[in-house]
Amino acid sequence: MTADDAVPQAGTGALAGTRVVELAQNAAIPYCGRLLAGMGADVVKVEPPGGDAMRRLAQLGPLESKAYATINPGKRALALDLDAPGSADVLDGLFRWADIALVAFKQSDLERFGIDYRSAQESNPSIVYVVHTAFGPDGPDAEQGGYDVLVQAFSGMGFIMNRSSGGVPLPTRPAVNDFGTGMVSALAAVAALRHRDLTGEGQRVDTSLLGTAFGLSTPIVGFFDAVDREPIAEFEEDLRHLRSAGVDFDGQRELYETRVLAGQGAFQLYFRHYGTSDGLIAIAGLSAGLIAKFHEVTGVARPSDPSAVEDPGFQTVVAAAEAVFRSRSTADWLEVLREAGVPSSRYNTPVESIREEQAEVNGFVTDLEHPVFGSYRTVGMPFLMERTPTRIAGPSPTFGQHTDEVLAEIGLGSVIGDLRRRGVVT
């Protein structure tokens, strides 16, 4: 199936006819807009006079970049100076026009620019207003601006997943909280839209990077009073000693994984990546049946106590498994493991992943044609729908490409020239 084969006719998406105004930059809420557009919504992205900050990351030309092109396909673009006198009329028109508003600004800036919930609701009482913050709308850090890297650190998820260099953790990329928040925000937006369609009531919806980070960490972040009090206290005491002694990040995390995280033996043997003779392979199998198949296929002896990860005997088993996997190629192991029913996968680079047939035939990648820099491949929609197909409708918009078009639609066509002369729009 080609990219063209996967594109449904216009108006067939689940959100066809839904109007969205997006007042946001960077990744989290723009990715939400991308998903809504992929379900058929008409998403108008409002950008400042200098353009979304992503237009300058991995640039392909003036105000065009890889980052912007991959995050914002399928939208229309309007350039608006929120500081300019006269911008309130444009915002009023956009809020009246929209079913959903997507907003991501520091909370202290919302009223200043007239894009707070009260202002949006005055223009359109039934609007679904999704507002995004880094750390949530309340509390001591509510006014703190934030990015994914800060929330990785604050939430504790970085302690689990960050690589390290020079003894300190490196931020994880891709920005999992940004794009996870985009998904959460899209879910919340369509749920609120469903409520509005049933009752006529709009509402404010709050999403945040920190809320997403805790959600993504669900199996790990928690405290069970009956069993965790003593081991956590011992871990924190030992961690203080490690830190005072200057032990690096990897040593600190190893202490956490061996003392606090459950099931680390299984993760060292059966749910991990192994080096092969020509690359890497991933395996995953934690059930008793899959564990038995793992040992049958590899010929590696079972550990006498899978929970004793610090025991030399257990580590001998791990070393034996690593040696066995290094003895054959990735392709050989994939054939053997899959024939035995052990879940396994190639360990791809990002470049390799978008060439995979599996990604192409399911529409998880798509090819687009941009009027400025030509063809590009980007990710498609992360889910499929039978009756209302999802799609990436077109490339990212050029800066201000649809300003005149959108202004005409919201009833300001007669004053476009005046707005442009006064610098309200670009």
DSSP 76: E
With the CA atoms of 409, 412, 417 and 422 taken in that order, what torsion angle do they form, in degrees rounded to the nearest 10?
Answer: -120
The confidence score (pLDDT) of residue 196 equals 97
In whole angstroms, give the CA distance from residue 115 to residue 318. Answer: 57
For tokens 């030399």, name the residue: 312
The confidence score (pLDDT) of residue 305 equals 82
Residue 230, token pair as written in the block? 């003593």
DSSP 3: T
The confidence score (pLDDT) of residue 263 equals 64
The confidence score (pLDDT) of residue 262 equals 63
Of the candidates 382, 338, 309, the residue with the CA atom closest to the CA atom of residue 32: 382
Sheet order of strands, 280-284 included:
271-275, 280-284, 344-346
Of the candidates 273, 384, 259, 392, the residue with the CA atom closest to the CA atom of residue 326: 273
Helix ranges (H only) for 217-363 are 225-244, 249-259, 264-269, 288-298, 312-326, 330-340, 350-353, 357-361
In whole angstroms, give the CA distance from residue 130 to residue 341. Answer: 44
Of the candidates 279, 272, 286, the residue with the CA atom closest to the CA atom of residue 321: 272
In whole angstroms, give the CA distance from residue 143 to residue 25. Answer: 17
Q: For the CA atoms of the chain, what is the radius of gyration?
A: 25
For residue 346, the SS3 value is strand
For tokens 């350039």, name the residue: 79
What is 157-209 written as a DSSP string?
HHHHH--EETTEEPPPSS-HHHHHHHHHHHHHHHHHHHHHHHHS--EEEEEEH
The confidence score (pLDDT) of residue 8 equals 37
The per-residue pLDDT string of the chain (426 residues; one tens digit each, 9 = 90 and over) reads 333 443 334 457 999 999 999 999 999 999 999 999 999 999 999 999 999 999 999 999 999 999 999 999 999 999 999 999 999 999 999 999 999 999 999 999 999 999 999 999 999 999 999 999 999 999 999 998 889 999 999 999 999 999 999 989 999 999 999 999 999 999 999 999 999 999 999 999 999 999 999 999 998 888 999 989 999 999 999 999 999 999 999 999 989 988 887 667 788 899 999 999 999 999 999 899 999 999 999 999 999 887 777 788 889 999 999 999 999 999 999 999 999 999 999 999 999 999 999 999 999 999 999 999 999 999 999 999 999 999 999 999 999 999 999 999 999 999 999 999 999 999
Helix ranges (H only) for 114-156 are 117-123, 148-155
For tokens 């007239």, name the residue: 114
The confidence score (pLDDT) of residue 4 equals 41
Of the candidates 183, 125, 410, the residue with the CA atom closest to the CA atom of residue 191: 183
Of the candidates 368, 376, 377, 375, the residue with the CA atom closest to the CA atom of residue 395: 368
**11 dihedral zone (left: phi>0; alpha: psi -120 to 50; beta):** left
Residue 141, token pair as written in the block? 């850090």
Residue 58, token pair as written in the block? 């991995």
- CA atoms within 13 A of residue 372's CA, in its CB half-sphere: 15
Q: What are phi and psi of 125, to 5 degrees?
A: -60, -20
In whole angstroms, give the CA distance from residue 402 to residue 423. Answer: 16
For residue 43, the SS3 value is strand
Sign of CA dihedral 276, 281, 286, 288: negative
Q: N- to C-terminal Cα distance for the chain?
A: 40
**389 dihedral zone (left: phi>0; alpha: psi -120 to 50; beta):** beta
Q: What are phi and psi of 207, to 5 degrees?
A: -125, 160
